[in-house]
Amino acid sequence: MAVPTAYRELVARECGNRLVIAYNPFESGSLYLYPEKEWQRVRDSVNALPSTRAAHRALQLKLVGAATPVELDGNGRISIPASHRSAVGIEKKAVLLGMGDKFELWSEQAHHAQIRQTIGDDDLSDHMLELRL
């Protein structure tokens, strides 16, 4: 996958072209791509959770257990492991979203479904209602 030109300089500067790919433990259809330093922070905080709780262990397995380091090549591309692509349904097309501290890589179908999903009034938190968008 080619990292968009707009992000390449940022990735080179912030993490020396090194990213870590992990499963999104909260939503199917996407992967997280972390800059290396951010990944280390996330990994350490997740691994610090007591693994005796089932929810913690599941998070550790999904997020940390299958994490894979990758590096941008000279053309700004990274190789997404086939196991990761298959698990989230990425076939030929994918959507890369910049989310501030990480990227999210979505299968095209899952991304379209996410866009079509309507947020109902019951889903809005008090914090969301205070946002000025």
Does residue 104 sit in helix, strand or coil?
strand
Residue type, 130: E
Does residue 30 sit in helix, strand or coil?
strand
Q: Is residue 121's pLDDT more than 70? A: no
Q: What is the pLDDT of residues 65-98, one digit of tens each?
A: 999 999 999 999 999 999 999 999 999 899 999 9
- The answer to whether 96 touches 105, Cβ cutoff 8 Å, is yes
pTM: 0.87
Q: Sketch out the chain's domains with CATH numbers.
A: 5-130 (3.40.1550.20)
Share of the chain above pLDDT 90, in %: 62
